[in-house]
Amino acid sequence: MTHTLMPLPFPEDALESYISAETIRYHYGKHHQGYVNNVNRLKEGTPFEDKSIEEIIMGADGALYNNASQVYNHDFYFKGMSGSETEPSALLQEWIERDFGSMEDFKKTFIDAAAALFGSGWVWLCIEANESLTITPRSNADNPLNDGLYPLMVCDVWEHAYYIDYRNARADYLEKWWKLINWDFVSENLGNARYIEFPCDDRSGECEFKEQ
Ligand code: MN
């Protein structure tokens, strides 16, 4: 099976007010495509030849793991941005307020974690096994899948995500990236997590996570 680059969910210039078409052209067209190409090359002749990106992440190590993880992370990142205004679902809003106090406190904690991450990496919002929301910074290609966490949202803090537009000013990029979050995607992930991570027999939508 040959992995293919996911379609960009918006036109190259859709985020232009904060992230330029030039950045997207390099980030999606060169970096993301490069990771996809590397996975296809590196998995040849290995037990991972016919495996999904998630299966490779869970089982491989070294360069194959790093490149598969970068494919997964970039899919998540690009799906997680939008040029249109979106809003968190009522459920997501409720969980954020429950675990971080308010949307403003959540934003501050998330952005502080992203600003403080040394070197290259990713900052994730995840659901923990105990069903609370947690902010998890990860270095280089890592993502939280191997830690039993269910990811909802991610910010790419590799310099290639912002250097063309913001040079070394990561904090400025983070403030602008926040305005581009596709809350529909994050809310949808939370909705899916209720069934994928914590199976429930009743698909009527009335199932709740078990009480702590
Ligand atoms: Mn990137």
- Over residues 90-116, the pLDDT tens digits come to 999 999 999 999 999 999 999 999 999
Asked if residue 195 has pLDDT above 90, the reply is no
- Which superfamily does 21-79 belong to? Fe,Mn superoxide dismutase (SOD) domain (1.10.287.990)
CA of 101 to the centre of ligand 1 (A): 30
What are the b/e assignments for 133-168, b being 16+ CB within 10 Å? bebbbbeebbbbbeeebbbbbbbbbbeebbbbbbee
123 bridge partner residues? 137, 155
CA of 190 to the centre of ligand 1 (A): 23
Ligand 1 (ion): which residues have CB within 5 A?
156, 158, 161
CA of 206 to the centre of ligand 1 (A): 37
CA of 212 to the centre of ligand 1 (A): 37
CA distance 118 to 121: 8
pTM: 0.91
- Which superfamily does 90-193 belong to? Iron/manganese superoxide dismutase, C-terminal domain (3.55.40.20)
CA of 160 to the centre of ligand 1 (A): 6
CA of 100 to the centre of ligand 1 (A): 27
Residue-wise pLDDT for 131-166, tens only, equals 899 999 999 999 999 998 999 999 999 999 999 999
Q: Reduced to 3 states, what is the DSSP secondary structure of residue 156?
A: strand
Annotated domain spans of the chain: 21-79, 90-193
Q: Which long-range contacts (C-beta less than 8 Å, at least 24 apart) are formed by 173-179?
A: 174/111, 174/114, 174/115, 175/111, 176/18, 176/19, 177/18, 177/19, 177/81, 178/107, 178/111, 179/18
